């Protein structure tokens, strides 16, 4: 007892107690402090995947398989990426209702938060194209004329010159692009839904995709709606040529017949 109290009065005792107290506080803080930002993100991500998995089992697994491996009713989803899910569900194509040549767009039945969760789950099955960010699809600094060139070379054969869409073989069709969200246009290019080819960033860099989006938005804006009257389908030389043939040439023929009829009359008299 005497020894202990002697030690307590040791000049270093106060320092030791202080150090121990500090260590204990630090340890307690580390144990109970809120998780760091990175950890919080990780937890949010795994929560999203967890929720997405639940939504998936109810709405998608019957056609795409319990682990996204695909069934006879729907293709495999391993590796299609979050962009494919955001596009398919965000445009109302998925969940599909009945088999057919092409799954049509319908009313979107999931909220954007649920779509994000579904996308997180499918992306966790295998890496694939990622949903573009706001700046990825921003029209800022995009070149509309360049976009027009790119659109005519890469897209017009199916979607028509101004993106009005058109029929393809076997009952399939390329949809009208008017009014489609820039994010979904970007995702369509990234993932190539159905019979559309995909245009990954390696072959069509971000800037070119933004140029194309700017072109689609410009030719379909209300100011661009054919100030001269009929748009003739925006087909350009083809429909305008046809118009010329029918009305122009037709008119010429009518005049020729009129002239001929009058010359004949003139000869008779």
Cβ neighbours for 162, distance < 8 A, ≥ 6 positions apart: 219, 220, 234
Candidate residues 59, 70, 139, 166; the one interacting with ligand HEC per rule CB under 6 A: 59
- Total of residues contacting ligand HEC (CB under 6 A): 46
Q: Nearer Cβ to ligand HEC, position 73 or 240?
A: 73
Residue 162 CB, shortest distance to ligand HEC, in Å, is 12
Residue 30 CB, shortest distance to ligand HEC, in Å, is 40
Cβ neighbours for 165, distance < 8 A, ≥ 6 positions apart: 159, 173, 174, 175, 176, 177
Candidate residues 155, 190, 214, 219; the one interacting with ligand HEC per rule CB under 6 A: 155
Site for ligand HEC in 97-116 (CB under 6 A): 102-103, 105
The site string for ligand HEC over 181-220 (x = CB under 6 A, - otherwise) reads ---xx--xx-x-xxxxx-x------------x--------
Residue 228 CB, shortest distance to ligand HEC, in Å, is 26
How large is the greatest C-alpha to C-alpha distance in the chain, in angstroms? 155
Nearest Cα neighbor of 94 from 126, 134, 62, 49 is 62
Candidate residues 45, 73, 203, 242; the one interacting with ligand HEC per rule CB under 6 A: 73
Q: Nearer Cβ to ligand HEC, position 92 or 233?
A: 92
Distance, CA of 188 to CA of 159 (rounded, Å): 13
Q: Nearer Cβ to ligand HEC, position 55 or 232?
A: 55
Distance, CA of 208 to CA of 146 (rounded, Å): 8
Query: Is 161 a binder of ligand HEC (CB under 6 A)?
Result: no
Q: Are 166 and 159 in contact (CB under 8 A)?
A: yes
> Within 13 Å of residue 116, how many CA atoms lie on the same side as its CB?
10
Q: Are 137 and 186 in contact (CB under 8 A)?
A: yes
Residue pointed to by tokens 């194509």: 93
Question: Could you list the residues that contact ligand HEC (CB under 6 A)?
Answer: 59-60, 62-64, 73-75, 77, 80, 84-85, 88-89, 91, 93-96, 102-103, 105, 118, 154-155, 157-159, 168, 172, 174-175, 177, 180, 184-185, 188-189, 191, 193-197, 199, 212
């Amino acid at each position: 007892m005497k020894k202990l109290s002697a030690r307590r009065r040791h000049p270093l005792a106060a320092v030791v107690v202080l150090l121990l107290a500090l260590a204990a506080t630090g340890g307690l803080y580390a144990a109970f402090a809120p998780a760091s930002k990175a950890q919080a993100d990780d937890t949010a991500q795994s929560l999203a995947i967890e929720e997405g998995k639940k939504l998936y089992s109810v709405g998608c697994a019957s056609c795409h398989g319990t682990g996204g491996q695909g069934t006879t009713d729907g293709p495999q989803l391993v590796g299609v990426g979050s962009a494919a899910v955001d596009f398919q569900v965000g445009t109302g194509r998925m969940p599909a209702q009945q088999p057919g040549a092409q799954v049509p767009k319908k009313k979107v039945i999931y909220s954007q938060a649920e779509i994000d969760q579904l996308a997180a789950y499918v992306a966790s099955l295998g890496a694939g194209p990622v949903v573009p960010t706001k700046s990825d699809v921003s029209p800022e600094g995009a070149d509309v004329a360049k976009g027009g060139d790119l659109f005519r070379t890469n897209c017009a054969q199916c979607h028509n010159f101004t993106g009005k869409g058109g029929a393809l073989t076997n009952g399939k069709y390329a949809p009208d692009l008017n009014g489609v969200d820039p994010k979904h246009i970007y995702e369509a290019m990234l993932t190539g839904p159905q019979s559309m080819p995909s245009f990954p960033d390696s072959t069509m860099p971000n800037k070119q995709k933004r140029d194309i989006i700017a072109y689609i938005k410009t030719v379909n804006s209300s100011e661009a709606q054919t100030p001269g009257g009929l748009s003739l389908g925006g087909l350009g030389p083809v429909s305008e040529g046809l118009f010329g043939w029918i009305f122009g040439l037709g008119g010429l023929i009518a005049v020729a017949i009129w002239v001929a009829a009058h010359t004949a009359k003139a000869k008779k008299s």
